[in-house]
Amino acid sequence: MDNVFGIDIIPDNDAERVAALEHYQIINTHREKAFDSICALACELFGCPISHISFLDADTEYIKAACGLDGIAKVSRSIGFCAVAVLEPELLIVEDTLLNNLFSNHPYVVDKLQIRFYAGAPIITPDGFIIGTICLIDTAPRKFSDSEKRILKKLANLVMEQTELRYNNLSLIQQRDEFIAIASHEMRTPLTSLQASLQFINENNDSSLNATNQRMLQHAYRNAEKLSHLVNEMFEASRIAERQFSINKSIFNLAELTDSCCGVFTQTGKHQLVTHGEKYIQVNADRQKIEQVVVNLVGNAVKYAPQSKIISIDIEYLGSEVKMSVTDTGPGIEPDKLPHIFRRFYRTDNNLTQTGLGLGLYICAEIIREHGGEIGVSSNVGEGSTFWFTLPLNS
């Protein structure tokens, strides 16, 4: 590989090293707080303005976390300092880059970053492969003591431990998702048969059952319906996680969709749905999936704000998009819970008996995002909540 250092920066075991890195599924991934915190700690401990954690594949240095290194997500392996740091299992310490033949004419030294000090500790897997580095950078020369070297090595070990922990968590999540996908698929057929049998018995009941058995039959039928809903949510969530669902768009009126699918919530007479705003707007979207979103948001308002007699639905024209909001006057949601509300399996603590899996809002969010829209919530404790989503207004 041609590079700015004038030496061979590809070790003999590079193919195995890259394979070891790919095993951890960490290259070119989003920033994560745990790794950023290690960089912030490094800057604090050493009094350095810049610290970063990088992982190197065959061609690129990916910056997983950084402190003081804004806006740089990756650099070519042919130019990154860490390409040299991964060549040996020991620390790479350059106390003054202008006095080092490898770095004195480097563009990051004489031009862009004005690097004068560099210290890099290799991140080494349990089986001995160097997959990245944790680095310290300063714009002034400095000495680096033996005790500082020991601390930097310990930080590199900490990064490796965090990488292992992250991989183990990913493996557990993948195993969970596989189990959910298989279980929900296998449960659907017998559950459908059970529902059909209960429905047949219920519809063909000739009053031969006594009152107790009648109640038990109704109770079994309702619970089968609830179980069917949970299984369908599990199945759909697994398909979404694996990107196996499709969007089938058609043009329809959003207000008319709302009226047709939400009438069930007003049958008891406890709640009234009031639609405000631009009732004429038509959208180009997947009607079935948008109906699913609307039913979920209105259903949650009825379920978690049972004293809210009026559920308001607002449809706003925003030029290039339409915004629908569902507002209740219920107990509201605590501010610390709002950032997590659309996460998979997240359930808020409340005084109601919870029967869901925490998948409904996650599914809604993924449906809206797949349409190119946004979804959100605002809430004040004691005053109520507003869940909203937007859809692009395509021609």
Q: What is the pLDDT of residues 44-103, one digit of tens each?
A: 999 999 999 999 999 999 999 999 987 789 999 999 999 999 999 999 999 999 999 999
Question: Which of the two residues, 136 and 203, has the higher pLDDT score?
Answer: 136
Question: The tokens of 110 are what?
Answer: 């004489």
Question: Which of the two residues, 230 and 140, has the higher pLDDT score?
Answer: 140
Please answer whether residues 361 and 296 qualify as being in contact, where contact means their C-beta atoms are separated by less than 8 angstroms. Answer: yes
Are 102 and 196 part of one and the same domain? no
Pick from 185-199, 207-221, 321-335, 340-354 the range whose average pLDDT is largest: 321-335
Dump pLDDT digits (tens) for 337-374.
Answer: 998 899 887 877 655 545 566 788 988 998 999 899 99
Are 68 and 148 part of one and the same domain? yes
For residue 9, tell me if it sits in a domain: no
For residue 8, tell me if it sits in a domain: no
Q: How confident is the model at residue 244 (pLDDT cuts 50, 70, 90)?
A: low
Q: Quick count: other Cβ atoms within 10 Å of Cβ 4?
A: 16
Instruction: Tell me the CATH number at 180.
Output: 1.10.287.130
Dump pLDDT digits (tens) for 117-164.
Answer: 999 999 999 999 999 999 999 999 999 999 999 999 999 999 999 999
Dump pLDDT digits (tens) for 364-393.
Answer: 998 999 899 999 999 999 889 999 999 998
| Predicted local confidence at residue 72, as pLDDT | 87
Are 223 and 79 part of one and the same domain? no
For residue 3, tell me if it sits in a domain: no
Task: Report helix, strand or coil for 237.
Answer: helix
Instruction: Tell me the CATH number at 85.
Output: 3.30.450.40
For residue 5, tell me if it sits in a domain: no
Q: How confident is the model at residue 395 (pLDDT cuts 50, 70, 90)?
A: very low
All residues at 6 or more sequence positions from 181 whose CB lies less than 8 Å from its CB, including other chains: 235, 238, 239, 242
For residue 2, tell me if it sits in a domain: no
Average pLDDT, the chain: 87
Sheet strand arrangement including 74-76: 74-76, 60-67, 50-56, 130-138, 117-124, 92-94
Question: Which of the two residues, 233 and 18, has the higher pLDDT score?
Answer: 18
Question: The tokens of 12 are what?
Answer: 């003999």
Question: Which of the two residues, 24 and 261, has the higher pLDDT score?
Answer: 24
User: If you average pLDDT over residues 298-318, what whole number do you get?
Assistant: 88
Which one-letter DSSP state was computed for residue 96?
-
Are 154 and 194 part of one and the same domain? no
Which one-letter DSSP state was computed for residue 11?
-
Is the pLDDT at 273 greater than 50? The verdict is: yes
Are 56 and 165 part of one and the same domain? yes
Which of residues 170, 185, 219 is at a domain's end?
A: 170
Are 283 and 369 part of one and the same domain? yes
Residue with tokens 């599914």: 363
Are 87 and 135 part of one and the same domain? yes
Instruction: Tell me the CATH number at 303.
Output: 3.30.565.10
| Predicted local confidence at residue 150, as pLDDT | 97
Determine the structural domain holding residue 26 and report its residue range: 14-170
Are 48 and 181 part of one and the same domain? no
pTM of the model: 0.63
Separation CA 12–CA 14 (nearest Å)? 6
Pick from 62-71, 232-241, 269-278 the range whose average pLDDT is largest: 62-71
User: If you average pLDDT over residues 17-28, what whole number do you get?
Assistant: 95
Strands 310-317 and 117-124: unpaired
Please name the amino acid found at residue 24: Y
Separation CA 145–CA 137 (nearest Å)? 15
Please name the amino acid found at residue 228: S
Question: Which of the two residues, 378 and 214, has the higher pLDDT score?
Answer: 378
Which of residues 115, 148, 170 is at a domain's end?
A: 170
For residue 1, tell me if it sits in a domain: no
Are 139 and 196 part of one and the same domain? no
Are 190 and 158 part of one and the same domain? no
| Predicted local confidence at residue 378, as pLDDT | 93
Angle (deg, nearest 10), helices 146-203 and 211-241: 140
Pick from 179-183, 193-197, 291-295, 303-307 the range whose average pLDDT is largest: 291-295
Are 236 and 157 part of one and the same domain? no
For residue 386, tell me if it sits in a domain: yes
For residue 384, tell me if it sits in a domain: yes
The CA R_g of the chain, rounded to the nearest whole Å, is 29
Q: How many domains does the chain have?
A: 3
| Predicted local confidence at residue 234, as pLDDT | 74
Which of residues 188, 207, 241 is at a domain's end?
A: 241
Are 132 and 213 part of one and the same domain? no
| CA neighbours closer than 13 Å in the CB half-sphere of residue 162 | 20
